[in-house]
Structure formats: C-alpha cells, structure tokens
A and B are shown apart, each in its own frame.
Chain A
C-alpha cells in the first residue's frame, strides 16, 4: 500500500505515525537528535537550519507541554513559529479542519504541527496539504504520538545502548493511549526483543497482542527482570466508572512503587510521558528517585523534535 509518510524516493515527507516507517529512518532521526542534544546547553541556543521557514502549531486539542517543546525546538532551528489554538477559535465557529489548514497554507507555512482529538486527523490533513508542506502529528486521538514515541526510544538508547537485548514494560492505560501505540511500534521496529504491556483487561484494546507485545495482568510478574518501565498516564475521568472502580485500587495493583520496581533489573530506568498523577500510576518516591529519567525525557524531547523538523524541512 502507498505509504503517505514517504516521498517517491522513500524519504520522510510527513511524520504521522511510527508504524510503517523503516528502521533506517528511525535511526536517522535518533542520530540527528544526538547532534542537537548539546544545543540547549550552549550560550547561543540556535542553529540556522530552519531560517526563513514558518512552523505552524495547530492544536485542535489543548496542550501546553507538547506545544511548548515544539515551539522551543522550532525556535532553536531559527524558524518563525505561529501558535494556533483552534479548539478555542475557528472550530467553535463551525470551520472545518481542512478549511483551517487551507487558510494557514495561504499564509505560506512550511511545517504544520498538528494535534487533534480524533484518530486519523493528521493523515487527513497530510492528504490535503500542498506538496511543499510537511505535517508532523503531535497526537491524534488514540492513534499516534510519534515524536513522543521517538523521544522515549531516544531516552532508552541514551541509557541502554544495546536495544537488541532489552525487556521493556509499558504499564497502564494502553487502550486510550496514542503514546503507548507509538512507543510499541518504535521499540519493535528498532529491534527490542521483548515488549510487555501490563494493565487490567479494561484498559487494553482487543487484539493488543497483534501489535507484537506480550500481555500481563499481574504487575509483579510483568515487571520481573525488565530493563525499562514506561508508565502511562491515567486520565482523571477514567479512574472511576465502568473501566476502573477507583484510583486507590488502581494504584494498589498497577501503580509503580519502590517495592514493585525492585522486581525489575537493579539498573532499570523508569519513564513517564507526563503529566504524572502522583499516587495514582506512580509513587512520588519512584518518580523522583534515582532510577527515574522522566526529566531527561523532556530535555531529549526538544532534540528529537528538532531532528524531525530539520529532516523534514531543513535547508540542506
């Protein structure tokens, strides 16, 4: 099938999902991110790769963190940045998603960073933009959040360079998580031999094993001997109702504590895409503990997003 993310030469044209991308492109992004990792520590935190280009953050769904990291990444590449919170403007006036995009295209944007509450929104936009425009999916419904998946594997690679010898566990709400789907595809594409998901059945999609993961419902079993523990965020509205009885019971059985973390390898790292619910999916002692790499994830997120934008639209 035609791959909407690649151009006719097999180069990255849009970043919509990790699924369907070859390992070589993922490695290219991670290697490029390596070269940007130090930029933030310099006195002049800028490189000119996107000078004269306009990056447009279109957020149909609210977000502060992701939008900010994209903005910082674009600015460090010397791009001009426009932020648009569509959730609060045009859509409430009845403008369709493609109308919004066409209007911004008319303003000569080069890169669209898009977030939307519905799965497939980024694909829809990518199908309808003009040929010179690049689309980066910053999260679509439950489907994908590829830059988050990439920054997570980037972080893992920094701490555990031999990816072919890793056991990774994802814990929590896989069903509603675009982050989980992107992480799973990134890990399996890069050759991680064992990816586990640990969750109650109500928080797993049917046929999740077809994504290439092993399913555990007992956290103690699932965490045994893993090198990486990736916690997923549980949305407030899902903590009590037909999916889960209470946040307390969830924390007791699926929350990460020091005691449960002790079952993993002694040098295991703990990750979380944020924002965290302390005391629901993760204990503060773990989140702030020595094995946590949650803050480095945020830092690396900027380098990875710089890498993606420079590969898509850089002046070479």
Chain B
C-alpha cells in the first residue's frame, strides 16, 4: 500500500464522513426541504434564489402562450433545487387535468416586440382549464382572459390556437373562414412557448426556504401542505399541496413584482390518468403560416 494511496483513502474517508452529515432529501415530497435543511446541515447558508420568479414564469407560460413571451423571458432564471423538480416530474408521469385561476388579475403584454404606437397591447388573464398528457405530448386548454376565451391544442410539436370569430371577421376575405392559427415560430411575436406548464419547475426550480405545514383537506383529498417563502423584495409566497402519491394537488402563489406585474395564481391538479383526446383542426380552417402577421395585427387591433 503506497503512501499516496493511503493519503487518498484517508482523504476519501474524511469526505465520506463529511457527507454523512449531509441531509439526504427525500425524493418527491421531502425533497422540498433540500434547500434549507441540506445546506444548514453542512454549515452553508442557503443561497438567495429566484425560485418564485421562475415559478411565475412557468405559470405565466401556462396562461398566456404567445401573449406572454416577454414576461417569460424576463423570468428565465437559473435555479437549482431538485425538490420541486422531482415533484413536477412525478406529477407528469400521468396525464392530468389542470385548472388555473388567477388570485388577482394578471396583466400581460401581448406581442412584446411591437414597436409602433401605442405599443404592445395589454391583456388580462383570469385563468385556464386543460388536460395534459405529457407522455404522449398532447394537451388541450381553454384560456379565459379579458379578450374572451381561446382554446389551445398541443399535438406533438404543433400548437394550434383558436381564432375568435370576431377577429377572423376583420381579416381579409380569404381568411374569414379560418378558426385556428398555428404557432410555429415563423414570426417574432408568435414564438411558440413550451406547452408544458411544469417544464420550468422541472428544469429551473430554484431554492428557497420551505416550511412543512402538515396535512390538510382539499375536497375529499388529504394532502400535505408546504409553504415556500421567496426573497422578501419580491414579496412572494408559494403554497404547495402534495397528495399521498407525491403528486401535486395544488400550487398557489402570490407575487409582487410591481409595475403591473403583480399577481397570484392557483393551479389545481385532478383526474390523474385522465384520457386526453386531441385531434388537429381541419387544415382548411388553419391560417397559413405566411398570413400570421395579419392575425397578429388583427388581434392587437381588437384588444387596443
């Protein structure tokens, strides 16, 4: 046995001993404690993070699709906690029904790239309901906002958005029978966003201090309640309710960004395993990609 090997083995033992003091987060639910408990046990301060901002971006993605490209980009931060990521991943192993309700009205800029006066139109979003099958990558959601209601369909890589008949009526005659347009990234404004509302949570969960508040009832379900408090300057708070199978039952957050970006959101998850049937709209009802700029300006005019 060489002296160097001895040194390396002894140093490795010291590392193992040090790791023994490391809290092993529970996969799934208990991983929510990773940030606080794990770091505390190893004597390191949990770093300030922007989890709630990332979370807001995730929810915003759910709500607005093309409408909120600007905000989603602003909220695109790097985070690190495994906890919520695992929870989100567990949740998505099955299809699920998701209802999203704005706790306070949320206002977003539509077509943030718009340069010409009066600038990007503002829209208010009150919520949406949808069914998602993340394994097959199909989903349908109905978005409810200040402008009315729209339906979005996800089929593989295709995202179709319903076109309000009133808006369609303002289009050139050849497009008036169209009921859908496809977000295909061919223009700046219609950048398709991930249809997956938990994508950001899985990849970008961030860390924050998380409190275990024990069990509570939501409807007939007994769920575990956690509260995450974000950086004080953001005034954010996130409540996470997890069912006995380590799946999300409810997420609720309130955010204080100022500048018209204040808001709150509740996401309710139900019907795990729900069958999601989505078919593409007939091709002759879809606005050709080359005409998307016309749709964009028609929507902007309608809202302004």
Partners in one complex: no
Interface residues of A (CB under 8 A from B): none
Interface residues of B (CB under 8 A from A): none
